[in-house]
Chains A and B, each alone.
Chain A
Amino acid sequence: QSALSQPASVSGSPGQSITISCTGSSSDVGAYNLVSWYQQFPGQAPKVIIYEGSKRPSGVSDRFSGSKSGNTASLTISGLQAEDEADYYCCSFAGSNTWVFGGGTQLTV
Chain B
Amino acid sequence: QVQLLQSGAEVKKPGASVKVSCKTSGYPFSKFGLSWVRQAPGQGLEWMGWISGYNGKSTSSQKIQGRVTLTTDTSTNTAYMELRSLTSDDTAVYYCARWNIVINTGDFWGQGTLVIVSS
- Residues of chain A having any CB pair with chain B under 8 Å: 1, 3, 32, 34, 36, 38, 40, 45-48, 51-52, 55, 57, 87, 89, 91, 93, 96-104
Contacts and interface: CB of A to CB of B under 8 A. Distances in A.
A91 B46 contact: no
A27 to B, nearest CB: 12
Contacts of A52: 103-105
Nearest to A98: B59
B44 A103 contact: yes
A98 B107 CA distance: 16
Nearest to B107: A48
Contacts of A48: 105-107
B31 interface: no
A93 B35 CA distance: 12
Mostly helix, strand, loop or mixed at chain B's interface?
strand
Contacts, number: 68
Nearest to A96: B59
Contacts of B110: 45
A32 B101 CA distance: 14
Contacts of B35: 99
A10 B35 CA distance: 28
Contact of A102 (B44, B95, B111): B44
Contacts of B97: 45-46
B62 interface: yes
A104 B105 contact: no
Contacts of B104: 32, 34, 36, 51-52, 93, 99
B88 to A, nearest CB: 20
Given A45-B109, A48-B106, A99 B44 contact: no
Chain A CB within 10 A, most for which of B46, B61, B97, B106: B106
B111 A99 contact: no
Contact of B112 (A45, A55, A89, A99): A45
